[in-house]
A and B are shown apart, each in its own frame.
Chain A
Amino acid sequence: AQSVTQLDSHVSVSEGTPVLLRCNYSSSYSPSLFWYVQHPNKGLQLLLKYTSAATLVKGINGFEAEFKKSETSFHLTKPSAHMSDAAEYFCVVSSDGSSNTGKLIFGQGTTLQVKP
């Protein structure tokens, strides 16, 4: 069965400093992995996705994530945080094994706080 674990429930950074949000996954299959962002009172927005192509995935708003199979990790990074990055971030794995429903399995979320 697929699952994801977000290692930090809350991350606080200063504006202009790097962001690292950590995620480990468990999957019986070659996983599809995603990062979604949720701003207060707004819908979920896809930041980036990994689907077995390049292991370094570039997303929107300067975010990147690297798929490391040996470490079963898919950490999200950004070189320089902006105030507008403050939000809830979800690491997600797609259940696209034999059932092929494609349903998404979400982590518990990491709240990113950006201090001025």
Chain B
Amino acid sequence: DTGVSQDPRHKITKRGQNVTFRCDPISEHNRLYWYRQTLGQGPEFLTYFQNEAQLEKSRLLSDRFSAERPKGSFSTLEIQRTEQGDSAMYLCASSLEVGQFGFGPGTRLTVT
């Protein structure tokens, strides 16, 4: 069963460094989403791709954040000049149609 995979699972970085996370969706899924989950909260929507097009970005996604999905398959989320407030679990999800989601295990980012 090839579900949504994310890499790395954990990342510890110093404040000010850049980090990049990767998400591999379920192979036939054309929709891909990034969410952020902080401790004790529900996941919050960051951005959405349909195939390679980034169709929606949350106001949470500051200009330090950039996401790509160059060939409509895997996606990357980059955070530049990390801040301690960026510490969170970053979740990726994919779907073929509305309502049929698969979630990845997440990348836990700790900024020291």
Q: Give the distance to chain B from A46, nearest Cβ to Cβ, in Å.
A: 7
Kindly state whether residue A102 has any CB partner on chain B within 8 Å. yes
Q: Which of B42, B45, B101 counts the most chain A CB atoms within 10 A? A: B42
B48 and A103 contact, CB distance less than 8 A: yes
Chain A contact residues, majority secondary structure: strand
- How many chain A residues touch the partner (CB < 8 A)? 24
B56 and A44 contact, CB distance less than 8 A: no
Q: Can you list 22 pairs linking A and B with CB atoms under 8 Å apart?
A: A34-B99, A43-B104, A43-B105, A43-B106, A44-B43, A44-B103, A45-B103, A49-B99, A92-B42, A96-B98, A100-B98, A102-B31, A102-B99, A103-B33, A103-B48, A103-B56, A104-B45, A104-B93, A106-B42, A106-B44, A108-B41, A109-B41
